[in-house]
Amino acid sequence: QVQLVESGGGLVQAGGSLRLSCAASGSIFKVNAMDWYRQAPGKTRGLVATITSGGSTNYADFVKGRFTISRDNAKNTVYLQMNSLKPEDTAVYYCNANIQSRTTGIPLNYWGQGTQVTVSS
């Protein structure tokens, strides 16, 4: 089965940095787009950044200039480098990937378990 495992969350002071990682594993044939979402307390889950299999990126306005999404296709891993963190960035961060598995042969979206990011002032 295909799984996404996240790591890198934690507590950091305002202005600090964190790097989140999300690694896909299992019977993978092809990994297409990979994304990061976040959900703050009392808020809906929203898209933070996306990256295509070819490396094209897109960002939500509230993280432009501060966050960078990247991927390592050899490791089936997507990263989110977060700099100049603000208390408003506090949320549970989830990765998502569109993956074609060797078992099913069709592309499906998979979610990571979520990792807590807390930014203190």
Longest dimension (CA), the chain: 47
* 38 alpha-carbon distance from chain centroid: 8
Q: CA–CA separation, 4 vs 76, rounded Å?
A: 10
Q: CA–CA separation, 47 vs 70, rounded Å?
A: 15
1 band by pLDDT with thresholds 50, 70 and 90: confident
Q: How many Å from the N-terminal Cα to the C-terminal Cα in the chain?
A: 41
Q: Number of helices (H) and strands (E), helices first, in the chain? A: 0, 11
Query: What percentage of the chain exceeds 70 in pLDDT?
Result: 100
Q: CA–CA separation, 22 vs 113, rounded Å?
A: 10
Q: For 3-27, how does the pLDDT look when each residue is reduced to its tens digit (9 = 90+)?
A: 999 999 999 999 999 999 999 999 9
Alpha helices in 1-121 (DSSP H): none
Q: pLDDT at residue 29 above 90? A: yes
User: In which element (H, E) is residue 109 found?
Assistant: strand 107-111
